[in-house]
Amino acid sequence: MPNFAPIDKQYIKSQKKMTSNSQILKYLNEKGLKYKTYSILLVLVLFGGFSLGSLYGQNLEKTKNADFSKKINSMLNFSIPIITVQELNQQKNITILDARESKEFLVSHIPKALNIGYKHMDKAIVEGLDKNKTVVLYCSIGYRSEKMGEKLKKLGFTKIYNLYGSIFEWVNQGYALEDAKGLPTNKVHAYNKSWSKWVENNKYEKVY
């Protein structure tokens, strides 16, 4: 999927909410985009499984805690299109990459995710991926995964998405995790005590 996110970063950061595809199309029209672009977007929505909001980074309130959204928005550049945890949970046949360090990944991760790390990217995993297949990256809240997405984009990957709120919002929404053995777990690495406040689902045990 094309990278549409950079169209208007200032508009994205203003946190204005678009509640329907028609509103987004109105916005595109105001920006002078051609109907050809409309057609491409509608095909992606109808057959690609993604909303126009996520393609333009507009689903910025898709967290249980509005203050968490504000924190995330202050950390991201929106250089990589976002996908919400609800949207990711509905996707099939995609590659999920964990951009956290191995000690975090081993505590728990999103099912079927591959750990490519952050400080030292696992080149073996990256080289084995199809650059034209949809890739979703995540970390704790989305900052590190956005940076890794930028690196993958430079390497030629064409369909990259950053998970908004990442694993913190994934557990806040109550979705499943698996441990290093691939077994269900309720533990999640909360990065440190300061950041752990954003993991708000009491069903999960925070690990540092």
State how far the Cα of 117 lies from the Cα of 122, in Å rounded to an integer: 6
DSSP the chain: ----GGGGHHHHHTT----SHHHHHHHHHHTT--HHHHHHHHHHHHHHS--HHHHTT--TT-SS-HHHHHHHHHH----S-EE-HHHHHT--S-EEEE-S-HHHHHH-BSTT-EE--SSS--HHHHHTS-TTS-EEEE-SSSHHHHHHHHHHHHTT--SEEEETTHHHHHHHTT--EE-TTS-EE-EEE-SSTTGGGG---TTSEEE-
Mean pLDDT, all residues of the chain: 82
Mean pLDDT within 64-70: 92
| Residue 62 pLDDT | 75
How crowded is residue 62: how many other Cβ atoms within 10 Å of its Cβ?
19
pLDDT over threshold 60, residue 44: no
Could you tell me the domains of the chain?
A: 64-207 (3.40.250.10)
Over the stretch 130-156, which tens digit does the pLDDT of each residue have? 999 999 999 999 999 999 999 999 999
Supply the pLDDT for residue 141. Answer: 98
